[in-house]
Amino acid sequence: MSLTESVEAGGKIISKHLLTAKIYISALIAGSSVMVLEIIATRILEPFLGSSIFTWIGVISVMMASLAVGYFLGGKLADKKPESIYVALIFILSGLSIAIIPLISYTILNISQYFGIMYGPIFASIFLFSIPSILLAMISPYLIKMSARQLSVIGEISGNIYAISTVGSIFGTLLTGFYLIPTMGIKAILFSLSMILIANSILFLGKKGAFPLVLGLVANLMIPPPMNFTPSPDQTLQYENYTQYQYMRVVDFPKQNSRVISLAYISQSGIYLNSTDLLFGYSKYQKLVYALKPDIKKALFIGLGGGSLPQDMHRVTNANITAVELDPEMVNVAKRFFNFSEDERMRAEVGDGRIFLKNSNEKYDYIAVDVFLCIIPPFHLTTVEFVDDLKSHLNPGGIAFINIISPVEGPRAALFRSILKVYRNSFKNVYIFPAKKQNYEERQNIVMLATDVDYGNKEDFTLLIKQHSSDNSTLELASYYYGRDVDTSTDVLLTDEFCPEDIAGVRALG
């Protein structure tokens, strides 16, 4: 072989390896981008549609459908136009389609709320994430077409590209969950993802890729961050943040002199700024517990929120109080905005309430369960197994306080009846206190007091409260005692193995 032939052969080998490197890098970036987009999509939807299982179902189903369409279209187009410039164009378009998400998200998400938390995520995902997902899926068939020069190795080439793409997806998942979300805002993540995709086009365009890169940079800089919450004239936004677990904001209502903490679009906890009185009606039912059990020595609160319930018990009793909260940022917000503070009698533990109970040998006189994802309780805190464990941590005569949101009666009350059935399965008595004396078919807070102590019917209960409390507001609360029979025989007994409380919760929303 002559020197010239050797140089040409060497050049072809280098060119081949260079093309292979470009293809594998592109597969890695495309695969990781899909998962970054999928995970961040749930964060974009959460302020408007909550963080329930239906948010994930909506995002995953739409993106999987989009990937299927993208694979199909990418294969067709790759056969007709196999030139590398089209791969570059797909990368540019996918980057730009991600860049405009913040520009249109507010309008789309507001419209999606009309479809509710079950179907709203599907609607929003179609309009926000289907186009970039389709474009990203088109890349793999193109890369296979560019690599496949011999039919004898098409299987190996396809396997390599999909393997690398999958490795990219794993990397994107871990990167988003453990680094991007805790350290960057949504706009910054979308900006970075968009620019990386556009920059990847340079691998196939060379110097010509500078123009789309500048175009992408200008577009990203001009587009504002996604809007989540616009305070009305009678509201003042004090704090807004995406935590590791949820979208959270703190809002003041100057006319009512009150402050609330909201997760997604639901107010979860609140205080008066000029008073220690409890703001939300359901929380006032804790006064009944003071009358029924004035000798509380140890209390556990599963779910902290702004800390109004444990703070109220701290003021009224001498109990040692532990509040367990999953989200560490919630603890910080409670301390910063809601006057929650720890001392020798009250402490906050960061962790899951069920795991805390499982790992604890402590016994309590009172346990309050006040935890929600959107306005549906986390399923693992509604099952027989959880309630049995909860009861095992109560001292004899102890009381469990449970807050749920549901109608009391009618076809939409399945969530209430199922949770009631679970507590009746473990406790001898469960006393029910709706937030309203009438309109039982309307969605409302319902407080249940579960105990093995028999406090009798409504008359007996009211008389007992009168004997232990002279506070008129406490006596008024006793009058909300729901004395009607609740038949739960046909309702599901919620267990770890079968717990359809998400569907029941959506029906309770109406």
Per-residue pLDDT tens over the stretch 318-331? 999 999 999 999 99
Instruction: Provide the pairing of β-strand 247-253 with 346-350.
Output: unpaired
Q: Is the pLDDT of residue 167 over 60?
A: yes
Residue carrying the six token digits 């029941």:
504
- Is-contact 65 181, C-beta < 8 A? no
Better pLDDT: 288 or 507: 288
Nearest to 120 by CA among 164, 63, 59: 59
pLDDT-based confidence at residue 154 (cuts at 50, 70, 90):
confident
- Is-contact 309 283, C-beta < 8 A? yes
Q: Is the pLDDT of residue 509 over 70?
A: no
pLDDT-based confidence at residue 83 (cuts at 50, 70, 90):
confident
- Is-contact 425 389, C-beta < 8 A? no
- Is-contact 73 277, C-beta < 8 A? no
Range 468-489 average pLDDT? 93
Q: Is the pLDDT of residue 457 over 60?
A: yes
Q: What is the pLDDT of residue 150?
A: 53
Return the HEC string of 294-348: CCCCEEEEECCCCCHHHHHHHHHCCCEEEEEECCHHHHHHHHHHCCCCCECCEEE
In this structure, the dihedral spanned by the alpha carbons of residues 28, 33, 39 and 40, taken in order and rounded to 10 degrees, is 150
Q: What is the pLDDT of residue 149?
A: 61
| Residue 209 CB partners (closer than 8 Å, separation 6+) | 88, 199, 201, 202, 203
Q: How far apart are CA 36 and CA 186, in angstroms?
A: 11
- Is-contact 346 319, C-beta < 8 A? no
| Residue 18 CB partners (closer than 8 Å, separation 6+) | none
Tokens of 178: 């453990």
386-409: buried (b, 16+ CB within 10 Å) or exposed (e) per residue?
A: bbeebbebbeeebbbbbbbbbbbb
Q: Is the pLDDT of residue 374 over 80?
A: no
Q: How far apart are CA 357 and CA 371, in angstroms?
A: 15
Q: How far apart are CA 132 and CA 34, in angstroms?
A: 9
Range 396-420 average pLDDT? 94
Beta bridge partners of 403: 447
Among 150-159, 408-417, 443-452, the least confident range: 150-159
Q: How far apart are CA 115 and CA 94, in angstroms?
A: 27
In order of their start, the domains of the chain are 9-222 (1.20.1250), 277-509 (3.40.50.150)
Q: What is the pLDDT of residue 116?
A: 84
Among 112-116, 330-334, 343-347, the least confident range: 112-116
